[in-house]
Amino acid sequence: MYLEISVVVLSTVFLLIAAALFIPFLMQIWRTAKNINTTLQILNQNLPGILNNLEEITTNINKASSTVNKQVESLSQVVRRIQGVLEIFLSLENILRAGIRLPYFKAVTTATAVFKGARAFLNVFRSSR
């Protein structure tokens, strides 16, 4: 009989200890749930505005990237045209180089030297008077 009473007493003691430890745990869960509820209300109030801002930002980024793409496209067309003109000039240069040989350049160099000599002679001739 003493054994049964001691088992009941020990069971009651363990139950009281468990309850004493379980009550603060329940209080902390209650506070956490209350804080989560407050946070959820604030989030529900602010979330639509945040989402609207994100939609506006996304729209602006899409418009900006579209504009940049169009500008790059038009710039690439201009660059292609410039390249075409430069290719024409290079082709013309190659044609002229093939048509004009080395003796022509010698004649131009000689003529330039003659003109420079004549100019020097005239400068000296005028300055002596």
Work out the pLDDT band at 2, boundaries 50, 70, 90: confident
Residue 126 burial (CB count, 10 A): 8
Q: Which two tokens stand for residue 72?
A: 């790059």
Q: Is 98 exposed, middle or buried (0-12, 13-18, 19+ CB in 10 A)?
A: exposed
Side chain identity, residue 6: S
C-alpha 100/C-alpha 94 separation (Å) is 10
> Could you read off the pLDDT of 30-88 as tens digits, one per residue?
999 999 999 999 988 999 999 999 999 999 999 999 999 999 999 999 999 999 999 99
CA-based nearest residue to 63, from 75, 73, 55: 55
Regarding predicted confidence, which is higher, 2 or 110? 110
Supply the pLDDT for residue 126. Answer: 83
First-to-final CA distance of the chain: 155
Query: Which tokens go with 22?
Result: 């379980």
Segment (H or E) for 129: none
Token representation of residue 59:
């729209």
The answer on pLDDT for 116 being more than 90 is yes
CB atoms within 10 A of CB 24: 9
Q: Round to whole Å and give the CA distance between 124 and 116.
A: 12
| pTM of the predicted model as reported, rounded to 2 decimal places | 0.45
Please give the Cα distance from 115 to 123 (Å, whole number).
Answer: 12
